[in-house]
Amino acid sequence: MSWLTNLVPPKLRSLVTKVDVPDNLWHRCTDCGQMIFHRELVENQYVCHHCSHHMRMSAQERLRLIFDEGKYTLIPFPKVAADPLKFKDSKKYVDRLKDARAKTHNEDAILVATGTVKGVPLVAGVFNFEFMGGSMGMAVGEGILKAAQTALEKKYPLVLFPSSGGARMQEGILSLMQLPRSVVATTMMKEARLPLINVLCDPTTGGVSASFAMLGDLTISEPAAVIGFAGRRVVEETMKQKLPDDFQTAEYLLEHGMVDIVCHRHQLPETLARILKLLS
Amino acid sequence: MSWLTNLVPPKLRSLVTKVDVPDNLWHRCTDCGQMIFHRELVENQYVCHHCSHHMRMSAQERLRLIFDEGKYTLIPFPKVAADPLKFKDSKKYVDRLKDARAKTHNEDAILVATGTVKGVPLVAGVFNFEFMGGSMGMAVGEGILKAAQTALEKKYPLVLFPSSGGARMQEGILSLMQLPRSVVATTMMKEARLPLINVLCDPTTGGVSASFAMLGDLTISEPAAVIGFAGRRVVEETMKQKLPDDFQTAEYLLEHGMVDIVCHRHQLPETLARILKLLS
Amino acid sequence: MKFHLEFERPIAELESKINELRHLTSGQDVDIVSEIQRLQAKAEKLLSQAYGKLTPWQKVQVARHPERPRFSDLVSRLVEDFTPLAGDRSFGEDRAIMGGFARYRGRSVMIMGHEKGHDTESRLRHNFGMPKPEGYRKARRFMELADHFNLPLISLVDTIGAYPGLDAEERGQAEAIARCLETSLSLKVPYVSVIVGEGGSGGAIAIATSNHVHMLEHAVYSVITPEGCASILWRSAAKAQEAAVAQKLTAQDLLGFKIIDSIITEPLGGAHRDHPLTAAKIDQVLSQSLGELSRLDGPSLQKHRREKFLSMGRTLPMN
Amino acid sequence: MKFHLEFERPIAELESKINELRHLTSGQDVDIVSEIQRLQAKAEKLLSQAYGKLTPWQKVQVARHPERPRFSDLVSRLVEDFTPLAGDRSFGEDRAIMGGFARYRGRSVMIMGHEKGHDTESRLRHNFGMPKPEGYRKARRFMELADHFNLPLISLVDTIGAYPGLDAEERGQAEAIARCLETSLSLKVPYVSVIVGEGGSGGAIAIATSNHVHMLEHAVYSVITPEGCASILWRSAAKAQEAAVAQKLTAQDLLGFKIIDSIITEPLGGAHRDHPLTAAKIDQVLSQSLGELSRLDGPSLQKHRREKFLSMGRTLPMN
Ligand SMILES: [Zn+2]
Ligand SMILES: [Zn+2]
């Protein structure tokens, strides 16, 4: 199971594609346990053929799948101070960053790009869960701000795809400050009356859910994505009782009034385009 | 028990003072059942000495108790079409109106007045529950609108004291239209950033609660006042189970986030003045 | 047509006879064909007679007809690209009110309305069209989204009233309705309502505080149900028929009081007999209404709406 | 002082000795009096030494001290005519956040903050200062009221974090916090925060997105509790002390990162030893802060707040 990352806590562990997997590799569905041929999985947009489980995918893959003909333009955003806390747990933060960069070929946990979706131009900000659990630090904050700024300049809608365990603890208080900072970005979009859609991907938790991710004009979610503020285990310890099976899933949030649409990945580009055409 | 009115349904029946009660008359507290000397009751602002139960009182009495030295100026408001539906149940609406006017010496279920409360000038709109259960028809709508208009002209705060079973059924759809009409009044106050306080008196239910009464900048309530949309009996029939004893009381609404302050009648002028001084 | 109201029985019997005869002939038997034509003419005459002089109580029954077109029936015929949105963003998703973005005659709009459901399962799912506070809070979100994106707002009203339950009271039913009214009166977009079936009290006005209010011919709109009115004023719910008369709750009465802007005629025998035609008639009025309103700017639309409600009752004769 | 932290024990023993001696003398015995003075000087020196070099973990303990001044302690000393308001207008009254109108140095303000409570009953009543969604929605009401009436807004922050319960998650804890941030960033009134005790994660920033953020000398402010950080990154909550060091959560660290605007010195031996003096020191800083901000108009205040947060981290050295 070399294709399972161990970097993140077990509950966040998921199927992660490597850039260089051979075509004949098999994956096991993290939900139903069935084996799936790598090529088939990619062709099916990382959705299990057997149970429709939506697996996580890299930011690059998502950009390729969302944009028409897989074409998009990456938008660079300012670099940030590296490791201001000189943080170290069992490993130095700088080394974790180095590893994550090597693994993902991304600078940090977000990619910002522009392109068209079924003909509709938009700016997308896509989280990469493979990059330190998609955690939001200063770089992600800059990415979101740059995404909004680009949307404002071009008068495009902004679609954000969070997939994150929350704030990046290794950046301490600076990561907490990304909550208000990312909300400055959503506020600018709203003041310009440009559409802002969040597509919540698995998982959208912690500081990410408590900031920009809940502030879209519309909130779409991928099926079964985990969405919540406190982690399931923390809540379990607090409540000292078993939680409902569907606790913090997209479907649970829909019933609790937090999500507008739970959308199958295959329908996502069409859905986004339909809505954005109505709002333009 | 001649001093108990039978005009209104039992649950709305309450202690009602007549204009000509002799000083040596006794009242029975509708809550604890203790007997109270009329003069003492009036002196204690219609609050039971024994159990602090806040009894209903006429609009005139309330105006006298709220304003400094009992002095205020009544503000007339436009007359409305009489009985446009030619409504009749066991009795003609026009006759009910005639009786209510004779009994209360009021034109309809609201009085609008201006004066000072602990030195703070304000406009008050006070419901008279004795007048057909304080029901809101066209006249009450005009009263509320006039109250807001006067407040706007004088740049005074507006304090409304609903005590009403809801819309006046005998005016049919025209009474339903008082919901949006009264909300035009609250909206004008807010747009002018003049303070709008509702003091919910027993009862504040039906269409009155579903309009201006819930839209104050601040919501104060008299202790134990019944506040809700659907009547308790209707809810009981819907739920087919016993409701909590304190269901729809002011204290229950405070716990459920709908009320800011439950204020003893004796403290009300001081509380209003303190808040309005802070907001001026 | 699976369900017939009491006064529709003779017509229903006639129609079932016509159907029987139709099965007997392949079109060659001239006698039977002419008999069918004769009966059909008679049925239509009966329908036209019955629906031409419906009593207020019969209108209540027609407005509550289980096959009367629902929000879902109408929305599928009135608009394209309907994209339902969900949730009040604080407690739950209440399907007694549905709504979302859509394309109406080529133009983007927000459309919302009460949904009663059409069978046991969907009726339960939509709580029989009786919203709880989260339904009104969702409606308010729709209003605010319409305003934010400058989209005309359409509401289709069909509810017996707000849900009178413990949970609804607990979570502020009154506040939720009041807040809907407040938001409605501040919108700066064209806002048009159609009373499609029952316009029930606060549950209805919460999403009918609009620039133009139209009403289907046999719909009813009142401050309280006839049953509720009867049980309070007559002390007997059985007096509902009497109350319905006294309440003046028909479209014809309401037009007289200048509470509604127009009456939308229904297909012969009521809206439940022809959903597509009903939708087409609504479409016509909606289109005209939105056309008129789109000539006003935002502040004028807001002012128009407020003045419309302020003027209500003021022009009635004084005695 | 009924409660002593581990590192305060030697001082506490000394103080109890001083108290004993005080009971022995009526002030005539010169030897005892001078002994008391000597011990007192020693106690003060010990206090000054201990509090002059508190470790981050000790600061966490001081910030969590059960006798640390609470919202209620401070509000009664900072303002007059405090009029607490209640309710989120949609679900409930959450006493983990308190607030209302008040008069501060003669001027009307809105003041709010987390309230942890001071004994078992009040701790339960205030849910140990851990807000649920209705608490944040109430806070948003306070913000909107402040904006509506053009009143400066003061927040006193002291929470271990938002309540991590099923009900809180169900009703949208994340949404409620996010919405608080959104409202905070749009206010057009002066907004000043003081981190009084614990500044715990999203639960704190929800009411600390202000124009000026001040912090008591021994308060802590972090993205996650040291225990939570340790259990995730060190895989053991027991490593909390180590995590506290790595997190750089002290006022001194945060001033270095330009996250806070100033440090408010605490009375000798910590805020819990002298509530009135603590309030006086907060008062001084608040007054200066509000004075400065009151020179800006509404749009400038909003812009100042947004730019303050946008600039955070941007001026740090790149490597
Ligand atoms: Zn599977
Ligand atoms: Zn009593």
Residue B97 to residue B103: CA distance in whole angstroms = 10
pLDDT tens digits, D281-312: 999 999 999 999 999 999 999 999 999 999 99
Tokens of residue D159, six digits: 């929470």
Average of per-residue pLDDT across B189-208: 98
Cβ–Cβ of A177/D309 closer than 8 Å? Answer: yes
Bridge-based pairing state of the strands B110-117 and B120-127:
antiparallel
Domain chopping of chain D, boundaries: 8-53, 60-310
For the domain C60-310, what is the CATH code? 3.90.226.10
The full 3-state SS of chain B, as one line of letters, equals CCCECCCCCHHHCCECCCCCCCCCCEEECCCCCCEEEHHHHHHCCCECCCCCCECCCCHHHHHHHHCHHHCCEECCCCCCCCCCCCCECCCEHHHHHHHHHHHHCCCCCEEEEEEEECCEEEEEEEECCCCHHHCECHHHHHHHHHHHHHHHHHCCCEEEECCECCECHHHHHHHHCHHHHHHHHHHHHHHCCCCEEEEECCCEEHHHHCCHHHCCCEEEECCCCEEECCCHHHHHHHHCCCCCCCCCEHHHHHHCCCCCEECCHHHHHHHHHHHHHHHC
Contacts of B274 in chain D (CB under 8 A): 81, 83
pLDDT tens digits, C226-255: 999 999 999 998 999 999 999 999 999 999
* Residue C141 forms contact with D (CB below 8 Å): no
Residue D286 · residue D192 · CB < 8 Å = yes
Q: What is the mean pLDDT of chain B?
A: 92
Taking the CA of B28 as reference, the closest ligand is 2
* Residue D128 forms contact with A (CB below 8 Å): no
| Among the ranges given (A171-175, C3-7, C91-95, C309-313), the one the predictor scored with the smallest mean pLDDT | C3-7
Q: Which pLDDT belongs to residue D29?
A: 78
Widest pairwise Cα distance in chain B: 51
State the distance from the centre of ligand 1 to the C-alpha of A55, rounded, in angstroms: 9
Beta strands in chain C (DSSP E): 80-84, 97-104, 107-114, 153-159, 191-200, 212-216, 220-222, 262-264
Chains A and B touch (3+ CB pairs under 8 A): no
Residue A74 · residue A112 · CB < 8 Å = yes
Is residue D70 pLDDT above 50, yes or no? yes
Is residue C172 pLDDT above 90, yes or no? yes
State the distance from the centre of ligand 2 to the C-alpha of B8, rounded, in angstroms: 21
Task: Report the percentage of chain A scoring pLDDT > 90.
Answer: 86
The full 3-state SS of chain A, as one line of letters, equals CCCECCCCCHHHCCECCCCCCCCCCEEECCCCCCEEEHHHHHHCCCECCCCCCECCCCHHHHHHHHCHHHCCEECCCCCCCCCCCCCECCCEHHHHHHHHHHHHCCCCCEEEEEEEECCEEEEEEEECCCCHHHCECHHHHHHHHHHHHHHHHHCCCEEEECCECCECHHHHHHHHCHHHHHHHHHHHHHHCCCCEEEEECCCEEHHHHCCHHHCCCEEEECCCCEEECCCHHHHHHHHCCCCCCCCCEHHHHHHCCCCCEECCHHHHHHHHHHHHHHHC
Q: Which of B87, B97, B183 to mutate to test the interface with C (most CBs of C within 10 A)?
A: B183
In which residue are the tokens 């994209």 written? C83
Beta strands in D115-251 (DSSP E): 153-159, 191-200, 212-216, 220-222
Is residue A8 pLDDT above 60, yes or no? no
> What's the length of chain C?
319
The closest of D280, A261, B135, D24 to C87, measured between CA atoms, is: A261
Residues whose Cβ atom is located within 5 A of ion ligand 1 = A 29, 31-32, 48, 50-51, 53
Contacts of C84 in chain A (CB under 8 A): 261
Average of per-residue pLDDT across A7-23: 43
Tokens of residue C29, six digits: 């038997």
| Among the ranges given (A18-27, A268-277, C109-118, C181-190), the one the predictor scored with the smallest mean pLDDT | A18-27
Residue B140 · residue B185 · CB < 8 Å = no
Average of per-residue pLDDT across B119-142: 98
State the distance from the centre of ligand 2 to the C-alpha of B195, rounded, in angstroms: 34
| Among the ranges given (A170-174, A253-257, B223-227, D32-36), the one the predictor scored with the smallest mean pLDDT | D32-36
> What's the length of chain A?
280
Reduced to 3 DSSP states, what percent helix, strand and coil does chain C have, rounded to the nearest 5?
50, 15, 30
Residue D10 to residue C31: CA distance in whole angstroms = 117
Residue A176 · residue A140 · CB < 8 Å = no
Q: Which residue of D has its CA nearest to C170?
A: D91
The closest of C22, C2, C21 to C12, measured between CA atoms, is: C2
Is residue A11 pLDDT above 50, yes or no? no
Contacts of D133 in chain C (CB under 8 A): 90
Residue A95 Cα, gap to closest chain C Cα (Å): 40
pLDDT class of A21 with cuts at 50, 70, 90: low
* Chains C & D: contacts with CB separation below 8 Å: 26
Q: DSSP per residue over D60-106, as a string?
A: HHHHT-TTSPPHHHHHHHH-EEEEE----SSS---TTEEEEEEEETT
Bridge-based pairing state of the strands B261-262 and D153-159:
unpaired
Mapping DSSP to helix (H, G, I), strand (E, B) and coil, where does residue D133 land? helix
Residue D188 to residue A61: CA distance in whole angstroms = 42
First to last CA, chain B: 47
Contacts of C175 in chain D (CB under 8 A): 89-90
Mapping DSSP to helix (H, G, I), strand (E, B) and coil, where does residue D210 land? coil
Average of per-residue pLDDT across D20-29: 78
Residue D129 Cα, gap to closest chain C Cα (Å): 21
Helix (H) or strand (E) run with residue D30 in it: helix D30-52
Is residue B16 pLDDT above 80, yes or no? no
Q: Would residue B2 be called left, alpha or beta, if left means φ above 0 and alpha means ψ between -120 and 50 degrees?
A: alpha
Is residue D64 pLDDT above 60, yes or no? yes
Residue D206 · residue D185 · CB < 8 Å = no
pLDDT tens digits, A166-217: 999 999 999 999 999 999 999 999 999 999 999 999 999 999 999 999 999 9
Residue A46 · residue A61 · CB < 8 Å = yes
Q: Which pLDDT belongs to residue C266?
A: 97
pLDDT tens digits, C196-220: 999 999 999 999 999 999 999 999 9
Tokens of residue A130, six digits: 């493979």
Average of per-residue pLDDT across B2-6: 32
Residue D40 to residue D10: CA distance in whole angstroms = 13
Residue D192 to residue D287: CA distance in whole angstroms = 10
The closest of D140, D78, D141, D110 to D283, measured between CA atoms, is: D78
pLDDT tens digits, C282-317: 999 999 999 999 999 999 999 999 999 999 999 999
Q: What is the mean pLDDT of chain D?
A: 95
Which fold does the domain B57-279 belong to in CATH?
Answer: 2-enoyl-CoA Hydratase; Chain A, domain 1 (3.90.226)
Single-letter amino acid, residue A1: M
Chains linked to C by 3 or more Cβ pairs within 8 Å: A, B, D
Residue B237 Cα, gap to closest chain D Cα (Å): 23
Contacts of C91 in chain D (CB under 8 A): 90-91, 171-172
The closest of B97, C286, B275 to D84, measured between CA atoms, is: B275
Average of per-residue pLDDT across B73-80: 97
Residues near B193 by beta carbon (within 8 Å), at least 6 away in sequence: D148, D149, D150
Residue A84 · residue A174 · CB < 8 Å = yes
Mapping DSSP to helix (H, G, I), strand (E, B) and coil, where does residue D222 land? strand
pLDDT class of B241 with cuts at 50, 70, 90: confident
Is residue B66 pLDDT above 90, yes or no? yes
Q: Which pLDDT belongs to residue B23?
A: 60
Residues near A251 by beta carbon (within 8 Å), at least 6 away in sequence: A223, A224, A262
DSSP letter at C127? G
Q: Which of C175, C223, C250, C308 to mutate to test the interface with B (most CBs of B within 10 A)?
A: C223
Residues of chain A with CATH 3.90.226.10: 57-279
The closest of C241, C236, C221, C225 to C56, measured between CA atoms, is: C241
Residue B19 Cα, gap to closest chain C Cα (Å): 27
Cis ω on the peptide bond leading into residue B203 (within 30° of 0)?
A: yes
The closest of A242, A241, A216, A238 to A227, measured between CA atoms, is: A216
State the distance from the centre of ligand 1 to the C-alpha of A10, rounded, in angstroms: 18
Q: What is the mean pLDDT of chain C?
A: 95
pLDDT tens digits, C38-90: 999 999 999 999 999 999 999 999 999 999 999 999 999 999 999 999 999 99
* Residue C92 forms contact with A (CB below 8 Å): yes
Residues near A169 by beta carbon (within 8 Å), at least 6 away in sequence: A135, A175, D223, D224, D229, D232, D233, D247
Task: Report the percentage of chain A scoring pLDDT > 70.
Answer: 91
Cβ–Cβ of D318/A81 closer than 8 Å? Answer: yes
Chains D and C touch (3+ CB pairs under 8 A): yes
Residue C182 · residue B213 · CB < 8 Å = no
Single-letter amino acid, residue A69: E
State the distance from the centre of ligand 2 to the C-alpha of B34, rounded, in angstroms: 6
pLDDT tens digits, A40-77: 999 999 999 999 999 999 999 999 999 999 999 999 99
